[in-house]
Amino acid sequence: MSTLLFVIFAIELLAHVINAIGAAQINSLLWTLINYLPVSTSKAAAEQRKLQAEYLRVRQELNATSSQDEFAKWAKLRRQHDKLLDKLDAAKKGLEASRSKFDNYLTAVRLLLTKAPQYFLPFWYGKEAMFWLPYGWFPYYAEWIISFPRAPLGSVSAPSWQLACSGFIALVSELVVFVWTALFSRKAAAEGSSTTREKGQQQAKTPKKKVAVPAEQSEKKEL
């Protein structure tokens, strides 16, 4: 059962990581990485990047050209701009169709790796004990809850172990986020205080300018 314990924990950890990062972000990252490999969509993606760079260059040059003073050059650049825009739209539509298929495939794989085992394993191994509790350490009602729904009394069932793994991973994740946030905020506060201190020292070193008092006001003060 040690292998099953590890498998359930790994599945819960994988599901938590995917939920924390976000499925859309993971899909975008994998789509970007896979287009650098020798696959069917990599050539189309490279062509789109080339068209986009050429389009931006022509557009910048078109904006810098006056339609009144350099009409012939402006008209030529305008035709190139429109032609590249049409090609870029066509390339984007083709990649969007491939991207949609890719996202659907990843969604299916993600469901098979996370959601399906999360429901299947507790149901299939519901009658088996993951491990046994020390005898006499827990009252009857606690043993009955931990062994719910069909595991032998006094043992830990697969659903209980799954729930414990999920709670433990969530707790550790919150602890890591809290520690990281505290360290980052403390570092930012230290940098801010050092910057303020440096500005204060610079202001202290800068000599103060004397304000010139008009002659009339000085005479009035003497009187």
Query: Tell me: the pLDDT tens digits for 164-200?
Result: 999 999 999 999 999 988 888 877 766 666 566 666 5
Residue 161 has pLDDT above 60, yes or no: yes
CA distance 96 to 46: 14
Residue 151 token pair: 């595991």
For 116-151, the pLDDT digits (tens) are 999 999 889 988 888 898 888 888 889 999 998 889
Q: Which pLDDT value is given to residue 31? A: 86
Q: Which pLDDT value is given to residue 87? A: 87
Residue 220 has pLDDT above 60, yes or no: no
Phi/psi at 175 (nearest 5 deg)?
-65, -45
Q: Which pLDDT value is given to residue 150? A: 87
What distances in angstroms separate CA 179 from CA 21, 167, 173, 184, 190, one per listed residue?
Answer: 18, 18, 10, 9, 16
Q: Are 107 and 53 in contact (CB under 8 A)?
A: no
Q: Which pLDDT value is given to residue 206? A: 56
CA distance 118 to 105: 20
For 56-100, the pLDDT digits (tens) are 998 998 888 887 778 888 888 889 989 988 888 888 888 888 888
Cβ-count burial 27-47 (b if 16+ within 10 Å, e if not):
beeebeeebeeeeebeebbee
For 35-60, the pLDDT digits (tens) are 887 777 788 888 888 888 998 998 99
Q: Are 1 and 129 in contact (CB under 8 A)?
A: yes
Percentage with pLDDT > 90 across the chain: 25
Q: Which pLDDT value is given to residue 136? A: 83
**Alpha-carbon torsion, ordered 146, 148, 150, 151, to 10 deg:** 0
Cα angle: 12, vertex 125, 138; to 5 degrees? 80
pTM of the full structure:
0.67
Residue 169 token pair: 């991973």
